Amino acid sequence: MSHLKRRIVTILKDDHLDASEKVEILRQLEADTLSKERSATEGMTPVDGDDGEDLKSIEQALAKLGEQPVESGAASL
């Protein structure tokens, strides 16, 4: 399990955070991951083989909290 996936599980299981706080943290992780992918497509950083899986894990966690992922199609990259 990747570091990010472990972090997601920890966030979801944290009883000290309410749902809105969990969503806020996951949205930041989502934005960071999308930014990393965007910079990789622009040749700024090497592509990490787990980036797509990390984003998928974040989207699944958001879905568990009743949230939709941000639009991440080619136009947003």
Report the sign of the C-alpha dihedral through residues 47, 40, 57, 20, in that order. positive
Provide, rounded to the nearest whole percent, the portion of the chain with pLDDT above 90.
56
C-alpha distances out from residue 24 to 1, 17, 18, 19, 27, Å: 23, 10, 10, 9, 5
Helix 51-64 / helix 19-41 crossing angle, nearest 10 deg = 160
Q: What are the residue ranges spanned by the domains of the chain?
A: 3-65
- pLDDT at residue 77 in the model: 44
pLDDT tens by residue, 43-76: 665 555 565 788 999 999 999 999 998 875 544 4
DSSP H/E element including 10: helix 3-13
